[in-house]
Structure 1
Amino acid sequence: MTEQGFWRTKTLEDMSPAEWESLCDGCGRCCLNKLEDWETGEIAWTDVACRLLDGQSCRCSDYHNRLEAIPDCVPLNPETVRSLTWLPPTCGYRLVAEGRDLYWWHPLVSGEADTVHAAGMSVRGRTISEDLVPAEELEERIVTWPEETEARPRLADLKEKLSTLKD
């Protein structure tokens, strides 16, 4: 990690594969099922996660085979990042594409992979697998928290952090 991080000096196109992958903060928000109003284009987020999302790590449980396993999974690349309207407002790819800096809790800034969870910005503990929710019930699962940009440590994360400090 350097003071002038690569994400501040490189375009998405100029990043190495490792740099590109490290832009993902591990929040898991992009793996939530979303509903789109076909007339307005408005996106409604649900708390229903892709069946491949590991609810604890907030990472894909089969990342390398996800496109075969999940036909509507959208791979991110510079072109898709700039065209998708549903990327979370805190997404590292979106922020860099828009010329903005990463949040303090992003692992590239904090130096710690778990700050995204400690800051309450991930989906950890907030989702249900799509395997457990019929498609016709998705409208009943609409939530607004995926659009939040303010870090809010959750009580469970604070308790976990306190217990590790006591050890």
Structure 2
Amino acid sequence: MGALKDTGPDGEAFWEKPLAELTDEQWEALCDGCGQCCTHKLEDADTGEIYPTNVSCKLLDVTTARCTNYAHRKAFVPDCLQLTRETAGDLPWLPDTCAYRLRAHGKPLPEWHYLISGDRGAVHRAGVSVAGKVISEDEAGPIEAHVQIDGYVLMDAPGDDDDGDFFL
């Protein structure tokens, strides 16, 4: 692949173009490196509500929020979802700050995005990144113990002797 060009012949920044017009290289460059899409979520089977956890995919470097084997991730994590131009605006678990989601809805990138700021570390300083805030699935234990719901405290089930059942 050639060098990524920030602007086209018309002077327009590639990240301001509709997603359908981006090259594959430009598409990949939209990622802000926050790592939020690489954290596990739980879905309520009755309501469809999605609850975040602080558990990351085993391939996510929890200190940098970057995938340790992005090019071959599907070989190690077969259920890793491939974000596409068609799905970027429709996935409810993508954070509101996600560049793919923002651009799918025609919104501009935030000031901290590295394509705007020129600084890859800005995502971390803005508090958007999961770096240093998550635990790998290899170390987490029962994922239910890591669900993050404001106002709720996880408790062991009544009469439980740590069999992995939890109540919210």
| Fold shared, TM-score > 0.5 on shorter chain | yes
Q: List gaps (5 residues or longer) in structure 2.
A: 1-5, 151-168
Larger Rg: 2
Report the counterpart of residue 143 of structure 1 in structure 2. Answer: 148
Give the Cα separation in 1 of the matches to 2:60 and 2:70. Answer: 9
Q: Share of identical aligned residues, percent?
A: 48
Cα displacement (A) at 1:123: 0.6
Match of 1:117 among 96, 118, 124: 124
Q: Structure 2: how far apart are the matches of 1:125 and 1:46?
A: 14
Over aligned residues, Cα RMSD in angstroms? 1.7
Runs of 4+ aligned structure 1 residues displaced above 3 Å come to 1-4
1:144 CA displacement: 5.7
Q: SS at 2:51's partner residue?
A: strand
Counterpart amino acid of residue 34 in structure 1: K
Q: List gaps (5 residues or longer) in structure 1.
A: 146-167
TM-score where L is the length of structure 1: 0.79
Deviation of the 1:58 alpha carbon: 1.1
Match of 1:165 in 2: none
Partner of 1:45, secondary structure, is strand
Match of 1:107 in 2: 114
Deviation of residue 141 (structure 1)? 0.9
The equivalent residue for 2:14 is: 6
Higher relative contact order (CA 8 A, sep 6+): 1
Tell me how far apart the structure 2 counterparts of residues 41 and 4 of structure 1 sit (CA, whole Å). Answer: 39
Q: Distance in 2 between matches of 1:121 and 1:16?
A: 26
SS in 1 for 2:53: strand
Kept after mapping to 1: 8 A contact 2:64/2:132:
no
Amino acid at match of 1:141: H
2:43: which partner in 1? 36
Provide Cα deviations, 1:93-121, integer angstroms capped at 9, x if missing partner: 00000111111110011011110012121
Q: 1:72 aligns with which of 79, 102, 112?
A: 79
What is the rounded CA distance, in whole Å, between the counterparts of 2:94 and 2:57 in structure 1? 15
Q: Provide the C-alpha distance between the structure 2 equivalents of 1:133 and 1:117, rounded to a whole number of angstroms.
A: 23
User: Going by fraction, where is helix more abundant, 1 or 2?
Assistant: 1
- 2:61 is the counterpart of 1:54: yes
**CA shift for structure 1 position 57:** 2.1
Alignment: residue pair count: 142
